[in-house]
Amino acid sequence: MKHSLFLFDLDDTLLDFRASEQLSFERVLRELGFQAGIDKLFQQYQIFNIELWRAFEAGTVSKDFLKIERFRKTFAANKLELDPHQASHRYLESLSETVVLVDGARNLCATLAAAGEVGIITNGVAHIQDRRIANSGLGDYISFTATSEACGFAKPDTRFFEYASRMARAFSKEQTVIIGDRLDADILGANRFGIESCWYNPGRLANDTAARPTFEASHLDQVAGVLV
């Protein structure tokens, strides 16, 4: 066996977060009485959201600030008199109810759980991620979930990976691999921590970063074959 500990990013690796995000965003805006132009608003929200997550991962903003600010900026840019605190609360609640699996996620988790231990490593909000995993049907295959919220540090900080490794039943760098879609968080984090990684790259994007994955897969069905 090549690997015995499989550390998965959750969003856009096992769960289609973009699909869940859009469904939740649309639901919340309609609840707040906004009907027209939601697609355009979501595109603007995504820009602010990405900027704020990068700031969070760099340690310059808190997660609590991020959760409200992305809605405040979206509403302000469109001169909408909507409450960003209310929108954020309902959005986070809705995320756990709109779970969409990435194709092949269930089979891959079942295969790897039979070969070793599967853990989740995520920068997402802890109680929301726990509920999303429960609603995904993947919970039987997952041994533990490590969140940046509980740890106090976010991917790609090596302290986050040290925290995650302590949650495993057994840990050795040689038998551990990270599987994720983010070069700047998952793969770079693996590089810094000194473990192997598999870049899930469904869009077959070019890698023009300093991050260096050990393996690459464009579909989850390809992952088990290179890891066990």
What are 118's strand-pairing partners?
A: 6
| Amino acid of residue 139 | G
* Residue carrying the six token digits 């015995």: 4
* Contacts by residues 204-209 (CB-CB < 8 Å, ≥ 24 positions apart): 207/183, 209/183, 209/184
Active-site option among 9, 12, 157, 186: 9
* Contacts by residues 42-45 (CB-CB < 8 Å, ≥ 24 positions apart): 44/74, 44/77, 44/78, 45/70, 45/71, 45/74
Residue 102 DSSP one-character state: P
User: Which tokens sit at 227?
Assistant: 């890891």
Count of Cβ atoms closer than 10 Å to residue 163 Cβ: 18
Residues 6+ apart with CB under 8 A from 186: 9, 13, 121, 155, 156, 178, 179, 180, 197, 199
| 221 counts as catalytic | no
Residues labelled as active-site residues = 9
